[in-house]
Structure 1
Amino acid sequence: MDRLKLVLPTPDYKEMILDYKREFIENGDSMDGTAGLANSETFEEWYSAFFDNLKEETVRKGLVPATTYLALSTEDNCLIGMIDIRHRLNDHLLNFGGHIGYSVRKSERQKGYATEMLSLALKECLKLDIKKVLVTCDNDNIASAKTIINNGGKLENEVEADGTVTQRYWITL
């Protein structure tokens, strides 16, 4: 499965990223693993936050250092998805968010891309010396649960908050 490559965002990808955001907004989907793209007014605002959050010294208040990748098709360089690796966990991430968040644009779902993206991200986790990776999903997100399990995820438990049940999976590398 070498259909995807993970690359760091740069301003060269601005139009691709904005198109990705537009597709999610049009479909009313959640933009998980995008480093706050949904809440950014402009690409430049988002890119600045992405860059700040790469390092402990510059991470924005209330967040943890994280690296966000674009998942591009190796065939045509199309932006398929985005995936975010948090370098460490805070209390909220330990219960609900995990080390990794990801999303695949609606037009590219059900093609196995999320499984491949997560596999590639796990290799990046090793480079960050993260050997036990927490990945979570809502209990009704069957596709995400399958993606996590296909990458070796073992369900530890489910936690509930505000009517939402989150499944917590650990992947040991």
Structure 2
Amino acid sequence: MNRLKLVLPAPEYKEEIMEYKKEFIENGDSMDGTAGLRNAETFEDWYDAFLHNLKEETVKEGLVPSTTYMAMSTKDNRLIGMIDIRHRLNDYLLNFGGHIGYSVRKSERRQGYATEMLALGLIECAKMNIRKVLITCDKDNIASAKTIRNNGAKLENEVQEGDRVTQRYWVTLDK
């Protein structure tokens, strides 16, 4: 589990982050765990939102504080994925979103990176004193469910909203 390292976004990663965004848009993929990168007009807009998300005092109304990390290859410093850790849950996150959202760029999938990213994210949760971590995925996202289970999560239940069924998994972290 040392192929990846979690790194906080910074202006010097602008090119890598925008290339990551481009790959997701070109492939029509959802960009989970990116703190709204898809909808940001510019890197600067996104980075400003990332900074505001870090603290309760500055997070946008209706959102919870969160920390977004880049999962970088330890071999060549390539941006493999992104993972967002929400510091607390609101009602929506409790039912559908969970503490953690993540994505891996399409060109790097099916290599175990998501499992490794989530394991690193759980270490960060422990550092934030989040001991009971909720991770969710769509029921039809078999790869994500496997990633979650590979990190010791137990399925609590499934929640339906319209045609969408969300699976809710919990991981309890040691103190």
TM-score normalised by structure 1 residue count:
0.99
Distance 2:115 2:103 in 1: 11
- What amino acid sits opposite 1:26 in the alignment? E
Show the counterpart of 1:101.
Answer: 101
Matched, 1:52 2:55: no
Residue 141 of structure 2 aligns with an amino acid whose one-letter code is N
What does residue range 158-173 of structure 1 map to in structure 2 within 5 Å?
A: 158-173=158-173
Matches of 1:40 and 1:62 in 2, distance apart? 18
- Name structure 1 gaps, 5 residues minimum: none
CA distance in 1 between counterparts of 2:39 and 2:135 reads 22
User: Aligned to 2:134, what secondary structure does the other structure show?
Assistant: strand
Q: Are 1:110 and 2:110 counterparts?
A: yes
Question: In structure 1, how many angstroms separate the alpha carbons of the residues matched to 2:17 and 2:91?
Answer: 30
Q: Which one-letter code corresponds to 1:62 in the other structure? A: G
Letter in 2 for 1:23: E
Which position in structure 2 is the counterpart of 1:128?
Answer: 128
Deviation at 1:8, TM superposition (A): 0.1
Unaligned 5+ segments in structure 2 are none
The 5-angstrom pairing of residues 34-53 of structure 1 reads 34-53=34-53
User: Which ranges of 4 or more aligned residues in structure 1 deviate by more than 3 Å?
Assistant: none
| Post-superposition offset of 1:162 | 2.4
Shift in Å, 1:146: 0.4
Quote the Cα distance in structure 1 between the aligned partners of 2:113 and 2:43: 25
| Structure 2 counterpart SS, 1:125 | helix
Q: Give the alignment of 1:1-150 within 5 angstroms.
A: 1-150=1-150
User: Given residue 41 of structure 1, which amino acid in structure 2 is its aligned partner?
Assistant: E
